[in-house]
Chains A and B, each alone.
Chain A
């Protein structure tokens, strides 16, 4: 099981949960697994072509997957996957 941390703006897609868990050997598999349990999760992250939406970044531990293997980046139970969308609030 891989731990996935979901930043606040995307928690609408995980029924409010900050931490969810998924099975898989790489980022794509793990996110797919979560998507099976949370409707809307997949479309919140991926567009209709299956590409990660531009305003969302994914990290394995502290590294951006764009500089690892993108969605094929391997993960194991020791890793933490973080999903961070763009946030604009400056509180006004």
Chain B
């Protein structure tokens, strides 16, 4: 190990000061791992290395530059340093990025076809707080696509099934269950507790409610939807367009086939949900180009990805220049039932 670190110093000027203090000892805040073991548990700098070994040099302190002013800037535990090592060694993420993920609060609307894959990858990535809104219980017919749930959970509330499964994926992710229907009465209060909203809802009423609440609360909304073999995904950033810019009002009953009538390829929401997780992680980290003002269209049968452009509509009733909606609206929630506005 000592000769390897010496090689690093020779090839990367400035590396010496990053790794070693004035006495020639490794800085206390630098951990060096051979495969998954810290060298303090091996032979320290005398640890021998072979060509098959993987060395990771990870600074343990990640504090300081996070978006949340009260975010704790504590060391990673040794287990966290190993768990997230594949993130941390990416220059674009690093310890600072991983700390942002751990401090992030993401709300999943629905723990179903879209919410399941999104939740799994967000928990795996270390998102520190995951809210789940779902008042349903796990049903046998869910299992062909809702990969968060399993046979043993049939009959249990989905939020409980989600909590148990996600705790096993990553105990760092605190799951907050909201086993209730989202309405104009509770949506602002629930969404207000989170940084980013991930929409996996399965009906128009909830879509409009979530869109409106997210906009009014100025939260980014990572949206996804599916139908049979096709999926869509986009990111609505407050001020740059919203779902109502695309569709100002819900369709009348019968105009679009309802949820249960149409059927869906089980693997379809898997792709769209993971795209939603990816976009959420990119937003938290400030990485890459998000799907803002872009509607991604996925066709599973032809395996085609296309995009159309989305814009803020200056005449949008919610986020346009002369908005007429300033309160949440409860559309009748049942698929196929008359879509009459009952509030707002």
Contact A90:B255 (CB < 8 A) given known A64-B311, A84-B308: no
Residues of B within 8 A of A53 (CB): 251, 255
**CB-defined contacts of B232 to chain A, threshold 8 Å:** 87
Contacts of B37 in A (CB 8 A): none
Contact digits for B104-126, partner A, Cβ 8 Å, 1 yes 0 no = 00000010111100000000000
CA–CA, A86 and B295, complex, Å:
12
Q: Roughly how many angstroms separate A66 CA and B245 CA in the complex, as a whole number?
A: 11
Interchain CA distance A64-B226 in the complex, whole Å:
20
Residues of A within 8 A of B262 (CB): 9, 89
Chain A minimum-CB-distance residue to B199: A90
Q: Is the CB of A66 within 8 A of B313?
A: yes
Tell me whether A85 and B230 are in contact in the complex, defined as CB-CB below 8 angstroms, given that A54-B247, A62-B308, A92-B113 are known contacts: no
Query: What is the bound-complex CA distance between A86 and B310, given in angstroms?
Result: 14
Inter-chain contact B309/A63, CB cutoff 8 Å: yes
Task: Identify the interface centre among B200, B259, B308, B311: most chain A CB within 10 Å of its CB.
Answer: B308
The answer to whether A89 touches B251, judged by C-beta atoms less than 8 angstroms apart, is no
CB atoms of B204 and A88 under 8 A apart: yes
Given known A53-B255, A55-B251, A55-B255, contact A90–B308 (CB-CB < 8 A): no
Interface residues of B in 266-283 (CB under 8 A from A): 268-269
- Chain B residues with Cβ under 8 A from A67's Cβ? 311
For residue B311, which residues in chain A have a CB less than 8 angstroms away from its CB?
A: 64, 67
Q: Is B142 an interface residue when CB atoms closer than 8 A count as contact?
A: yes
Number of chain A interface residues as a range: 20 to 34
Closest chain B residue to A57 by CB distance? B246
Q: Which residues of B contact A20 (CB under 8 A)?
A: none
Contact A91 B145 (CB under 8 A): yes
- A59 interface residue, CB < 8 Å from B? yes
Q: How far is the CA of A22 from the CA of B112 in the complex (A)?
A: 39
Bound-complex Cα distance A86 to B228 (A): 14
Q: Which residue of A lies closest to B158 (CB)?
A: A92
- A31–B224 alpha-carbon span in the complex (Å): 28
Chain B CB count within 10 A is highest, among A55, A63, A89, for A89
Contact in complex: A91, B250 (CB < 8 Å)? no
The verdict on A63 contacting B308 (CB below 8 Å), with A85-B251, A86-B204, A92-B202 known, is yes
- B250–A55 touching, CB < 8 Å: yes
Residue of A whose beta carbon sits closest to that of B264: A91
Given the known interface contacts A9-B257, A86-B204, the answer about A91 and B146 at a Cβ–Cβ threshold of 8 Å is yes
Q: What sequence of 0s and 1s flags, for each residue 277-314 of chain B, a beta carbon within 8 Å of any chain A beta carbon?
A: 00000000000000000010100000000111111010
Chain A residues within an 8 Å CB radius of B247: 54-55, 57, 86
A7 within 8 A of B: yes
Interfacial residues of chain B within 98-153, with CB under 8 A of chain A in the complex: 110, 112-115, 136, 142, 145-146
Nearest A-chain residue to B301, judged by Cβ: A18
Q: A60's closest neighbor in chain B, by CB?
A: B308
Task: Given A63-B309, A64-B308, decide whether A90 and B246 contact each other with a Cβ distance below 8 A.
Answer: no
* Across-interface contacts of A82 in B (CB, < 8 A): 297, 306, 308
Closest chain A residue to B111, Cβ basis: A92
Chain B contact residues, CB within 8 Å of chain A: 110, 112-115, 136, 142, 145-146, 199-204, 207, 224-230, 232, 246-251, 255-257, 259, 262, 264, 268-269, 295, 297, 306-311, 313, 335
- 15 A-B contacts, Cβ less than 8 Å apart? A9-B257, A54-B247, A55-B247, A55-B251, A55-B255, A55-B256, A62-B307, A84-B295, A86-B256, A89-B225, A89-B259, A90-B112, A90-B115, A91-B113, A91-B226
Residues of A within 8 A of B (CB): 7-9, 12, 53-55, 57, 59, 62-64, 66-67, 82, 84-92
A-B complex: 5 closest residue pairs judged by Cβ atoms: A91-B113, A55-B251, A90-B202, A92-B112, A92-B202
